[in-house]
Chain A
Amino acid sequence: MSRRLFLAAFEREEDALGATQASREYGFRIVDVYAPYAVHGMERAMRLQPSRLPWVCFLLGLIGATFKVWFEYWTTWIDWPLNVGSKPWDSLPAFVPVTFEVMVLLAGVSTVFAFFLVCRLIPGKKPTLPIAGITDNRFLLVLEETDAAFDPHRVRRLFEEFNAVQVEERVEETR
């Protein structure tokens, strides 16, 4: 299998945003958009799904808190009961600070690692840009030809309309 890709580089954020929006409205399939920085509104223009990272954060935080509460109960009540100021064994307020810290630690660290995992970012990873160095100063929109109704001329016209500075067509082998 091979797929045909259309690459367009833009010099301005507005052009990239507008071209992305228009491509989506025309029904072209957007493979990805490469930008030097996070462009506001781009996720809406590409109609990306909302990030699932908050769920990871929430769940891991919940697990951390639960684990820590259980652990404190276990140490102070079951395994080694210790009388602190005649408080009851199950003194929940005393557990709160540590529980909070462990919750934040687990939630924070796991979110970062989940992010790396999702992006497949590892130390020493080589950049996989379609055009080397494109995100130094430009924006790149990559469209994919999906079916026979796909009209390359229309795509080129659209790119021109949004002041694309470089348009490229590329056939990529996929396995």
Chain B
Amino acid sequence: MKSRVLLNTFLLVVFIVSVKLNWLRPPDPGRRNIEYFPNMAHSARYAAFSPNPEFPDGKTLQQPEPGAIPRGYRPVHYKPTPEDALRAGEELQNPFAAAPARHLDRGTFVFTNFCQACHGAGVVGGSEGREDEGRPNVPRAHVRAGQYALLRNATLTGGPLERDSLRALAARAGGGASPNTLSGATGIDTLARRATMSAENVKLPEGVARPLKVLIAVGGVTFLAGVFQAPQRVWPDLLMASFFLLGLSLAGTFFVALQYITGAGWSVAFRRIPEAMAALLPMGAVGLGVVLLLHPRLYPWVGTSAVGGEPFRGFKQVWLSLPFFLARSAIYLASWIAFTLAIVRTSRRQDQDGDPSHTHRNVRLSAGFLVVFGVTFTLASFDWIMSLEPRWYSTIFGIYNFAGMFLGGLAALILLLIWVQRLAPAQVVVTDGHLHDLGKLLFAFSTFWAYIWFCQYMLIWYANIPEETSYFVQQVHGAWGAALPPQLAPELGRALPGAPAAKDPAEPQRDGESHDRDSGWKVARPVFDDPAALCGAQTGPGGLGDRPDGRGDRAVRPPAFRRPAQGATGPLERSLLRGKPSLPHMIQLIGCLKRGLPD
């Protein structure tokens, strides 16, 4: 009996002590419990993004079943059309009652954080405070693209989206406008009025169209005469002009593609203009095709395997064979034209139905175009221009041509933009802000161009390899440099836009000439650059560089160059080479540019 009491007392003490011990050292909830037989307790698992052989698509993370609805989400069945927007306004109810003030507070908070940046304070479609930045206030990126297309379509064709229904939409949206908010209806109406630009309602005035037609006729006659009278001048000229045209049109496509790929919204308003520039692409292709097919002898490597007493071997022999050359050229041109057509067609289709998915399609197309363009344009400039002098090479030549091409394209774009704005002032969405941005882009690219140009020039100049020197010897000692001391000529005459050195001093100054320092020069730049490689390669000193009055420097004549045959520079060509577009309206346009671009 006594021993039993003793045992029970002992057990009680043990119990109390163990409980007390537990208090003294509380268990750590973060510690894993001891596991016996852990073999099946933790099976190895796949990481979310690791490949998975168990599923048919080989991924661990699986898509939900089609038609699956997320929790807490009620699907709505509306299409992105104005009718359905109206219907949605009728049928949908705000799930939140206005009664507890916290709903409104929460809404205000969310709107201020996420919506106000684009929509302005207050209501949808308001545009106060943002307007003066020079851009109409519309939502960003893809939404904006779709909206513009919708509006343009509606106002052009009298399509399903009438202005009244727009206004109704806006009035519905803008229930309680704050006092300092522009009403939504006004905002959208402004947008609709501004977005009516299209190719159809901008017409060339007769006063411009007629001289242009005359010039086309004159050009055709001159070309035909030149084919028989001075073929050694005409073919390089046609090549040069075609390459220039190709450059202008490619700059259009490149600009559009660049805007898509960067998700830029600011340029949507005038996208029609670069698209129109891209329409020149087939013309340039035809001109180039004529040269390559009818007169391939322009290229000194055609029909021979040695130029300048040095036989081609290996890669150069394969690369510079006529069939391969023609096939390459066809591929370049075909891929550019295909991409341009696809991008422009998708953009036009968006005009019809206003579907934002077209924007996504164009983003993908643009990405493809940029990759293809980067490779093909480099190769094309090597093939078409650099191979005119097969022993001369520069690996930066592609970028250099691209810089000139895009610079010229941008300048042409600005000129056209201002011009179209003049032709149809009420119909273009162009503000000072747009012109400022384009001007900055132009400035940046002229710097880029100068940088690339100088990289090429200085490397060749420093290396001083005999077969390369012809490039800078002509620039320093040809007619380009005759107007200035030889050391200054290349820097001032070519690196600075519109410096007087590059003008023909034999030509008397005309009125309005000082206007063309800016954009006119840059349009002409590719034409102006190419002769150095192109016509220079063809004729050397005594050709373009040598004026009939014999003031050019004939002392330096690298042996690689041939003497030109008869036929001095024609007036049309000379005017082109001086970088002066001989169209009278261009001069007027340049004046517009000076006045149109602040600063």
Q: Do A and B bind each other?
A: yes
Most chain B beta-carbon neighbours within 10 Å: one of A17, A41, A93: A93
Interface string of B70-109 (1 = CB under 8 A from A): 0000000000000000000000000000000000000000
* Closest chain A residue, CB of each to CB of B122: A14
Residues of the A chain whose Cβ atoms lie less than 8 Å from the Cβ of B461: 93
Residues of the A chain whose Cβ atoms lie less than 8 Å from the Cβ of B61: none
Residues B464 and A17 in contact, CB atoms below 8 Å apart: no
> B588 on the interface (CB 8 Å rule)?
no
Interface string of B110-136 (1 = CB under 8 A from A): 001000100011000000110011000
Q: Please, how many angstroms separate the alpha-carbon atoms of A41 and B121 in the complex?
A: 16
What is the minimal beta-carbon distance from A151 to any residue of chain B, in angstroms?
Answer: 21
* Closest chain A residue, CB of each to CB of B179: A161
Residues B121 and A14 in contact, CB atoms below 8 Å apart: yes
Residues A92 and B180 in contact, CB atoms below 8 Å apart: no
Q: Which of B129, B462, B464, B490 contacts A18 (CB 8 A)?
A: B129
Interface string of A73-96 (1 = CB under 8 A from B): 000000000000111101111101
Q: Please, how many angstroms separate the alpha-carbon atoms of A151 and B462 in the complex?
A: 73
Residues of the A chain whose Cβ atoms lie less than 8 Å from the Cβ of B224: none
Residues B180 and A14 in contact, CB atoms below 8 Å apart: yes
Residues A40 and B121 in contact, CB atoms below 8 Å apart: no
Residues of the B chain whose Cβ atoms lie less than 8 Å from the Cβ of A17: 129
Residues A92 and B129 in contact, CB atoms below 8 Å apart: no
Q: Please, how many angstroms separate the alpha-carbon atoms of A41 and B458 in the complex?
A: 44
Residues B424-457 near A (CB distance < 8 A): 454, 457
Interface string of B484-501 (1 = CB under 8 A from A): 000110110000000000
> A157 on the interface (CB 8 Å rule)?
no
Residues B488 and A92 in contact, CB atoms below 8 Å apart: yes
Q: Which of B120, B129, B132, B458 contacts A96 (CB 8 A)?
A: B458
Q: Which of A13, A44, A92 contacts B487 (CB 8 A)?
A: A92
Residues B128 and A94 in contact, CB atoms below 8 Å apart: no
> A27 on the interface (CB 8 Å rule)?
no
> A3 on the interface (CB 8 Å rule)?
no
Given A14-B180, A18-B180, A85-B464: A96 in contact with B133 (beta carbons within 8 A): no
Q: Please, how many angstroms separate the alpha-carbon atoms of A162 and B132 in the complex?
A: 19
Residues of the A chain whose Cβ atoms lie less than 8 Å from the Cβ of B462: 85, 93-94
Number of interface residues of B (CB under 8 A): 20
Residues of the B chain whose Cβ atoms lie less than 8 Å from the Cβ of A124: none
Interface string of A20-60 (1 = CB under 8 A from B): 00000000000000000000110010000000000000000
Residues of the B chain whose Cβ atoms lie less than 8 Å from the Cβ of A162: 180
Residues of the A chain whose Cβ atoms lie less than 8 Å from the Cβ of B457: 93
> A12 on the interface (CB 8 Å rule)?
yes
Residues B458 and A90 in contact, CB atoms below 8 Å apart: no
What is the minimal beta-carbon distance from A36 to any residue of chain B, in angstroms?
Answer: 14
Q: Which of B129, B179, B490 contacts A41 (CB 8 A)?
A: B129
> A97 on the interface (CB 8 Å rule)?
yes
Q: Please, how many angstroms separate the alpha-carbon atoms of A162 and B121 in the complex?
A: 12
Q: Please, how many angstroms separate the alpha-carbon atoms of A128 and B198 in the complex?
A: 54
Residues of the A chain whose Cβ atoms lie less than 8 Å from the Cβ of B179: 161
* Closest chain B residue, CB of each to CB of A41: B132
* Closest chain A residue, CB of each to CB of B486: A88
Residues A81-125 near B (CB distance < 8 A): 85-88, 90-94, 96-97
What is the minimal beta-carbon distance from B589 to any residue of chain A, in angstroms?
Answer: 28
Q: Please, how many angstroms separate the alpha-carbon atoms of A85 and B460 in the complex?
A: 13
Q: Please, how many angstroms separate the alpha-carbon atoms of A161 and B179 in the complex?
A: 9
Q: Please, how many angstroms separate the alpha-carbon atoms of A85 and B462 in the complex?
A: 8
* Closest chain A residue, CB of each to CB of B464: A85
Residues B129 and A97 in contact, CB atoms below 8 Å apart: no
Interface string of A134-165 (1 = CB under 8 A from B): 00000000000000000000000000011000
Interface string of B130-146 (1 = CB under 8 A from A): 00110000000000000
Residues of the A chain whose Cβ atoms lie less than 8 Å from the Cβ of B458: 93-94, 96-97
What is the minimal beta-carbon distance from B425 to any residue of chain A, in angstroms?
Answer: 24
What is the minimal beta-carbon distance from A13 to any residue of chain B, in angstroms?
Answer: 8
Residues of the B chain whose Cβ atoms lie less than 8 Å from the Cβ of A94: 458, 462
Residues of the A chain whose Cβ atoms lie less than 8 Å from the Cβ of B132: 41, 44
Q: Please, how many angstroms separate the alpha-carbon atoms of A86 and B461 in the complex?
A: 12
Most chain A beta-carbon neighbours within 10 Å: one of B129, B133, B179: B129
Residues of the B chain whose Cβ atoms lie less than 8 Å from the Cβ of A93: 454, 457-458, 461-462, 490-491
Residues of the B chain whose Cβ atoms lie less than 8 Å from the Cβ of A88: 487
Residues of the B chain whose Cβ atoms lie less than 8 Å from the Cβ of A40: 133
Q: Please, how many angstroms separate the alpha-carbon atoms of A96 and B487 in the complex?
A: 12
Q: Please, how many angstroms separate the alpha-carbon atoms of A41 and B490 in the complex?
A: 43
Q: Which of B121, B128, B491 contacts A92 (CB 8 A)?
A: B491
Residues of the B chain whose Cβ atoms lie less than 8 Å from the Cβ of A14: 116, 120-121, 128-129, 180
A-B contact pairs, 24 of them (CB 8 A): A12-B112, A12-B121, A13-B129, A14-B116, A14-B120, A14-B128, A14-B129, A14-B180, A17-B129, A18-B128, A18-B129, A40-B133, A41-B133, A87-B464, A90-B487, A92-B487, A93-B458, A93-B491, A94-B458, A96-B458, A96-B491, A97-B458, A161-B179, A162-B180
Q: A85-B464, A93-B457, A96-B458 are in contact. List 18 more A-B contacts (CB 8 A).
A: A12-B116, A14-B121, A14-B129, A15-B180, A18-B128, A41-B129, A41-B132, A44-B132, A88-B487, A92-B487, A92-B488, A93-B458, A93-B461, A93-B490, A94-B458, A94-B462, A161-B180, A162-B180
Q: Hey, which bits of chain B sit against chain A, CB under 8 A?
A: 112, 116, 120-121, 128-129, 132-133, 179-180, 454, 457-458, 461-462, 464, 487-488, 490-491
Q: Which 3 A-B pairs give the minimum distances between C-beta atoms?
A: A14-B121, A14-B129, A93-B458
